Amino acid sequence: MESEKIKNLIAPPALEVNSNYLKIGDKYAKTFFVFTYPRFLNTGWFSPIINMPNLLDISIYISPTDQALALKDLKKKSAQVQAQLMMNQEKGLVRDPMLETAINDIENLRDSLQQGQESIFSLGIYITIYANDLKELKQLEGDVTSLLESRLVYSKPAIFQQMEGFTTVIPLENDKLNVTTTFNTGPLSSIFPFISVNLTSDTGILYGINRHNNTLVIFDRFSLENSNVVVFAKSGSGKSYTTKLEAIRLLMTGTDLIIIDPENEYERLAEAVGGSFFRIALTSPHHVNPFDIPVIPQGEDPSDVLRNHIVNMTGLLKLMLGKMEVEEEAMLDRAITETYASREIVPGKDFSNKQAPLLQDLESILRNMEGGKSIAERLYKYTRGSYAGFLNDYSNVDINNRMIVFSIRDLEDELRPVAMYIVLNFVWNLVRSKLKKRVLIIDEAWWMMKHDDGASFLFGLVKRARKYFLGVTTITQDVEDFLKSPYGRPIITNSSLQILLKQAPAMIDALSKTFNLTETEKSVLLDAEVGQGLFFAGLNRVAIQVVASYLEDKIITTKPEQILQGK
């Protein structure tokens, strides 16, 4: 009686059998069998099927065959092929490479079997896919068959045998389809799906330990098609710790670092390595003038550089002033141009030694333009109002250091996106001025992603960074806000390296769709401890444990108890 209750519990509410699919409850299922393989199989060829993020079941049946019977069959087959070759020679036919290859393979296999180096097995591979409707089922069928056919492996659906196919795949060890192929040990080993990716290279820095096989994850981010990185993690899972650890190791490889720090987390690191730390705040002695004239890179037209800078300035002012009408945008663009012209900074002239204007100069010009007074009034708080100490002054930061940290912790929330935009524009002009190996770290990037102008600027920076030997590291804990932006996913696709640490359950589905995570990978992120997660480098994916030395940990830790103990 108890067994009947268990059966009723696990059985589907209904089962509908069709010629080429089953309907099991609310799900549609379809079973395939593999029937043809190429002459050579690469190790791990089956892993892409195993790692598909879709819902599917796979059963692999491997049965040993009688060795003596196999040798007898091979001897018979060898005789048939040799006879065919001899007949072709007697008829004067052109040599047949297929027959010659076959006889060599047969004889080599006979030798290996006779010497005990190989064994013979029968292999059956069966796959059942699941979907919510027939359209989704058909699409998934195409994905699976395309993946197999790209490796010259061919499959067929179990037409009129879907029930037998489904029974074959579920874990009952009952092969009712019995579509098998004979394999020797070598090719059979290539079917083993659980292979570990090795990300230990001769160059780069140590990121952590590969939790799959305990090897070291040593990687050079500049070896990929671009050197951009995205780091996603919930608060307290070790994302800043991981990034600071990467930063301190990048310094040892001769890479310059520029960091936008929203919480003063990088101050101790800057002090430890002799870096420059600038506080950007309303009362700070450090200033960055957004009107600073960019250094003209060698080989570029100064007029084009100035025009691009004016476009960036327009984007900044739109971010500061909020939504604007088309006429206001045109007026603002003209006002910025006239502001530079008031200091004799115009296209076609040498303006390298001219002093840049200030924001108050733009306000004055707007007040004297017809229809510009309302925009000037909105600028007032940044020029003479409560925010004047932040923007309306000349730049006085020293950028001649290998590590530069801009802290924006003491700024009001309303000013943070503006500060990040100004600092990024300042950094961009610095990067373009001289070609050098650099990494820009943007912590809590979701502040910029909240506004289209800021997100657009950040995307442009990420997209163009490769040409200037720059790698951009984008860090965020607010995954939802980041992905909601139309520039969020393009930033991810333009970042060849991705690091995902512990995630909140509410965010895991969004991440799963973005990164095509498998169920196992989702479990890794949900169950991860601090400093554990996934490391994606191109097509390679490993589970990682971030590790630091004793001295590194003392410098980069953010745990309050450790900081107090150190003091």
Per-residue pLDDT at 556 exceeds 90: no
Q: Give bridge partners of residue 156 from the DSSP assignment.
A: 33
Per-residue pLDDT at 440 exceeds 90: yes
pLDDT interval class at 136 (50, 70, 90):
very high
User: 26-35, pLDDT tens digit by residue?
Assistant: 899 999 999 9
The one-character DSSP state at 111 is H
Q: Of 360, 376, 394, which closes a domain?
A: 394
Per-residue pLDDT at 152 exceeds 80: yes
Q: Does 247 share its domain with 134?
A: no
User: 326-343, pLDDT tens digit by residue?
Assistant: 888 888 888 999 999 888
As a 3-state breakdown, the chain gives helix, strand, coil percent values, each rounded to 5, of 45, 20, 35
For residue 477, tell me if it sits in a domain: yes
pTM for the model stands at 0.66
Per-residue pLDDT at 471 exceeds 70: yes
Q: Tell me what the mean pLDDT of segment 278-292 comes to.
A: 85
The CATH number linked to 361 is 1.10.8.730
Q: Does 415 share its domain with 387?
A: no
Q: Tell me what the mean pLDDT of segment 437-452 comes to.
A: 84
Q: Tell me what the mean pLDDT of segment 171-196 comes to.
A: 81
Q: Does 185 share its domain with 217?
A: no
Q: Which residue has the higher pLDDT, 508 or 42?
A: 508
The one-character DSSP state at 28 is E
Q: Tell me what the mean pLDDT of segment 546-557 comes to.
A: 89
State whether residue 290 is helix, strand or coil: coil
For residue 407, tell me if it sits in a domain: yes
Q: Does 277 share its domain with 382?
A: no
For residue 112, tell me if it sits in a domain: no
- Among 102-106, 337-341, 375-379, the minimum mean pLDDT is found in 102-106
For residue 113, tell me if it sits in a domain: no
Position 162 scores a pLDDT of: 94
In this structure, the strands spanning 27-36 and 256-261 are unpaired
pLDDT interval class at 91 (50, 70, 90):
confident
For residue 78, tell me if it sits in a domain: no
Q: Tell me what the mean pLDDT of segment 185-204 comes to.
A: 74
Neighbours of 145 (CB within 10 A): 17
Q: Does 423 share its domain with 404?
A: yes
pLDDT interval class at 289 (50, 70, 90):
confident
Per-residue pLDDT at 382 exceeds 70: yes
How far apart CA 383 and CA 390 sit, in angstroms, is 9
Q: Does 20 share its domain with 137?
A: yes
For residue 365, tell me if it sits in a domain: yes
Q: Does 139 share its domain with 274?
A: no
Per-residue pLDDT at 544 exceeds 70: yes
pLDDT interval class at 422 (50, 70, 90):
confident
Q: Does 386 share its domain with 514?
A: no
How far apart CA 495 and CA 294 sit, in angstroms, is 26
Per-residue pLDDT at 198 exceeds 70: no
Q: What is the mean pLDDT of the chain?
A: 85
Q: Tell me what the mean pLDDT of segment 279-293 comes to.
A: 85
Position 88 scores a pLDDT of: 80
How far apart CA 310 and CA 86 sit, in angstroms, is 82
Neighbours of 93 (CB within 10 A): 10
The CATH number linked to 251 is 3.40.50.300
Q: Does 23 share its domain with 63?
A: yes
Q: Tell me what the mean pLDDT of segment 88-95 comes to.
A: 78
How far apart CA 257 and CA 487 sit, in angstroms, is 24
- How much of the chain, in percent, has pLDDT values that exceed 90? 25
Q: Which domain holds residue 386?
A: 289-394
Position 70 scores a pLDDT of: 73
Domain total for the chain? 3
pLDDT interval class at 470 (50, 70, 90):
very high
Q: Which residue has the higher pLDDT, 116 or 261?
A: 261
For residue 177, tell me if it sits in a domain: yes
Position 563 scores a pLDDT of: 57
Q: Tell me what the mean pLDDT of segment 342-371 comes to.
A: 86
Q: Does 448 share its domain with 498?
A: yes
Q: Does 271 share its domain with 339?
A: no
Per-residue pLDDT at 567 exceeds 60: no
Per-residue pLDDT at 14 exceeds 90: no
Per-residue pLDDT at 165 exceeds 90: yes
Per-residue pLDDT at 202 exceeds 60: yes
Cα separation values, 471 from 238, 368, 540, Å: 21, 43, 19
For residue 366, tell me if it sits in a domain: yes
**What is the side-by-side order of every strand in the sheet holding 540-545?**
216-219, 205-210, 540-545, 532-537, 497-501, 229-232, 470-476, 438-442, 256-261, 403-407, 276-279
Q: Of 394, 424, 444, which closes a domain?
A: 394
Q: Of 160, 189, 218, which closes a domain?
A: 189
Residues 258, 440: contact at Cβ < 8 Å?
Answer: yes
Per-residue pLDDT at 4 exceeds 90: no
pLDDT interval class at 479 (50, 70, 90):
confident
Position 8 scores a pLDDT of: 76
Position 196 scores a pLDDT of: 56
- How much of the chain, in percent, has pLDDT values that exceed 70? 96
Position 566 scores a pLDDT of: 58
Q: Does 424 share its domain with 329?
A: no
Q: Tell me what the mean pLDDT of segment 437-457 comes to.
A: 83
Position 560 scores a pLDDT of: 60
